[in-house]
Amino acid sequence: MKERRVIRCRGCSLNQLVTANGLCRRCRAQLEIPFSRALSVSLRILRQALGLTQQQLADRVERLQRTHISVYENARKSPTLPKVHLFAEALGVSDFVIISFAEAVRDAAGRDAQKRAC
């Protein structure tokens, strides 16, 4: 993973490149949660927002199975882009909506984690 994004630590205010372990270089606070984790949270939130069970979501797209949904929502596996596309199809949104939502979740969760840690 070669991320070159600059992020500001809410704990000690140090501006830094995102580190491999996601921790602040100075105060060791969590800068953000991994994107894969944010993606799982997003898939669950979007499904629940539509009032669908995992089975109901699976029924909407032929190649998507309930067991897959459970695996991805619990972050036991990180979905590949084709898998994200299947979810998007089932949820009736574009892939971009899911990715953007996951980015927002990651950034918000990172801010919460820093508040707790610092």
Interaction site with Zn ion (CB under 5 A):
9, 11-12, 24, 26-27, 29
Rounded to a whole number of angstroms, the minimum distance from the CB of residue 109 to Zn ion is: 16
The torsion of the CA quartet 45, 51, 52, 53, rounded to 10 degrees, works out to: 80
Q: Which CB atom, from 30 or from 42, has the smaller least distance to Zn ion? A: 30
Complex with Zn ion: residue 52 or 109, whichever CB lies closer: 109
* Packed helices 81-91 and 66-73: angle between N→C axes, nearest 10 degrees: 110
Q: Smallest distance from the beta carbon of 38 to Zn ion, in angstroms?
A: 20
List residues bridging with 16 in a β-sheet. Answer: 7
Give min distance, CB of 26 to Zn ion, in A.
5
Return the number of the residue (26 or 77) whose C-beta is nearest Zn ion: 26
- In 3-116, beta strands by DSSP E: 6-8, 15-17
